[in-house]
Chain A
Amino acid sequence: MSEPRPVKFRGGGFAPTSIKWIGPVVFIVLIGLLELGTQTGIIAPLTLPKPSDVLATFGELWRSGQLWLHLVPSLTRLLMGAALGVTTGIAIGIAIGLFSHIRAGLVPLVAAIFPIPKIALLPLFVIWFGIDEGSKYALIALGTFTPTVVATYGAVDNVDRSLIRMGQSFGLSWRSIVWKIVLPGAMPGILSGLRISLAIGIILLVAAEMLGAEHGIGAYILQAGSLYDLERLFAGVVILSLLGVTVSAVIGHLERRILRWRS
């Protein structure tokens, strides 16, 4: 008989926890390495700009007021386009989730629109809605619309049927069942769809601004790119990244507020 020994622990892992400091550290280390590389000349100036120069350009943008000149129209376009696309997307998604006829008619249509690179349609939108703001709103709206529809009707399908049956058994009106059971029940799925929709919205915003916009982050990046002004190009890219992080943080905040009942 062998020696008594403690039972080996084998239940670890598979339980992600939130470690807040690692994210910033990755950024700092990466940027630090780039700075070191460009300072010492290991990375040629034409390959990548110095992060410190990008920061200086950014500071210049801030001081001169140019930042707001570009950021305000961009944010307006994103907000208008996404608001339009997301609200119609949620409405159509819920209609697909609730009515078999609408589902049968629209699901193939949405599947057909979804994979089209919306940027390819920009010239068409320019003809339909004009070269200025209209075509940009339309592009962002269509781009955010399809993923929102798909996420929403999937979320409606996943609402616990026993809750709907409960509503019916208590004689709740159709309206009440939709507003008080289906919609809140679908909210987690709708919000996670919103993350994807808005990221696509940002991509399309830049694409739209590269064609026929005087101001806006996209126009700024395009301008910098055609002059091979890498510092300004990267400053623009950083703004887009920050925009993405901000949008994601806002949705995270919304989720924590609206979905407090979960977990």
Chain B
Amino acid sequence: MDLLVKQVSHRYGDLDVLQNVTLDIPKGKIVCLVGPSGCGKSTLLRLIGGLEQPSSGQIVQIGDPPDACLNPLTYVFQDFALLPWRSVEGNISLVLEDHDIPGHEAQRIIADVLERTKLTDFRAALPKQLSGGMKQRVAIARALAVNPAVLLLDEPLSALDSQTRELLMDDLLALWSRQAFTAVYVTHNLHEAVRLGHVIAVLSRRPGEIKQLVELDIPLGERSPDDPALQLHQQHLWDLMREEAIAADKELVDV
């Protein structure tokens, strides 16, 4: 299943947030959205997953999601959004309970996603007992449990410290290599973008427009953190964003 963002514009009241954004999200690829703070990249992600309606334009789904897919467009949030009163297992079973899945099948899915995210030993733990990185792993496991056609990741690593971020990035890469998934990955961290993105869409400051689409040909599995080619790309992205970021920063002072 592919997604197509067609000439989407969005405004809150008389504040233009996004302007005429067109973006292709092809199957099996990770599309990164980067841009200065307040450029509307998280808004765009909410529009893509149907949590908000665009003021104009539309998001089109091309093809059908696979049969076993319980929730085609599935989010991973920056703040994890785990229910604090449910255990790791309970948080995952939450998203299966509305789907008439027989108990043993649900158990199998839970065991499988816990294994894939290395959480098997933490099955019964409550969120308060887990570190930030572990909480985000639970959120990723929960997202994988519904077998999504497209994963929508909203700054998933931004609330974590830099070491944990590296570890989780490796985990995401490993998950993708094991079974290629389609994803839209919003981040303000250019390093994450060049490590994980097949396509990187650079948004301008508000109202957000797509300033440039950067395609990276290096296969995900071969991208190492200190690859000079990646660093070159990252530098290029920063050159694109620098002026915008400075302008956006000043804009906030005026508000």
Contacts and interface: CB of A to CB of B under 8 A. Distances in A.
Interface of A: 162-163, 165-166, 168-173, 176, 180-181, 184, 259, 261-263
Interface string B146-169: 100000000000000000000000
Interface of B: 49, 51, 70-71, 73-75, 77, 79, 81, 83-86, 94-95, 97-98, 126-128, 142, 146
Contacts of A166: 75, 77, 81
Nearest to B90: A180
Select the residue from A169, A171, A172, A184 with max chain B CB neighbours within 10 A.
A169
A261 B95 contact: no
The 5 closest A-B pairs by CB, nearest first: A166-B81, A261-B85, A170-B95, A169-B75, A261-B84
Select the residue from A166, A171, A172, A261 with max chain B CB neighbours within 10 A.
A166
A171 B79 CA distance: 19
Contacts of A180: 83, 94, 97
B98 A165 contact: no
Select the residue from B70, B95, B97, B128 with max chain A CB neighbours within 10 A.
B95
A168 B86 CA distance: 18
B126 A163 contact: no
Contact of B81 (A165, A171, A173): A165
Contact of A169 (B51, B70, B85): B51
A184 B86 CA distance: 10
Nearest to B148: A170
A172 B146 CA distance: 12
Nearest to A168: B51
Identify whether the interface residues of A are mostly helix, strand, loop, or mixed.
helix
Contacts of A171: 70-71, 98
Nearest to A184: B85
B71 A163 contact: no
B127 to A, nearest CB: 8
Nearest to A187: B85
B148 to A, nearest CB: 10
Nearest to B81: A166
A259 B85 CA distance: 8
A9 B234 CA distance: 47
B202 to A, nearest CB: 26
Contacts of A181: 83
Contact of A176 (B70, B97, B127, B146): B97
A176 B98 contact: yes
B51 to A, nearest CB: 6
A149 B126 CA distance: 30
A261 B128 CA distance: 7
5 contacts: A166-B75, A168-B51, A169-B75, A171-B71, A180-B97
A262 B49 contact: no
Contacts of B75: 166, 169
B103 to A, nearest CB: 17
A259 B79 CA distance: 21
Select the residue from B77, B79, B85 with max chain A CB neighbours within 10 A.
B85
Contact of B49 (A163, A169, A259): A169
B49 A261 contact: no
Select the residue from B70, B77, B83, B86 with max chain A CB neighbours within 10 A.
B83
A262 B77 CA distance: 21
Contact of A162 (B71, B81, B97): B81
A181 B81 CA distance: 11
Given A169-B49, A169-B51, A170-B146, A262 B74 contact: no
Contacts of A262: 84, 128
Given A171-B71, A172-B98, A165 B83 contact: no
Given A166-B77, A170-B71, A261 B94 contact: no
A173 B84 contact: no
A261 B126 contact: yes
A169 B79 contact: no
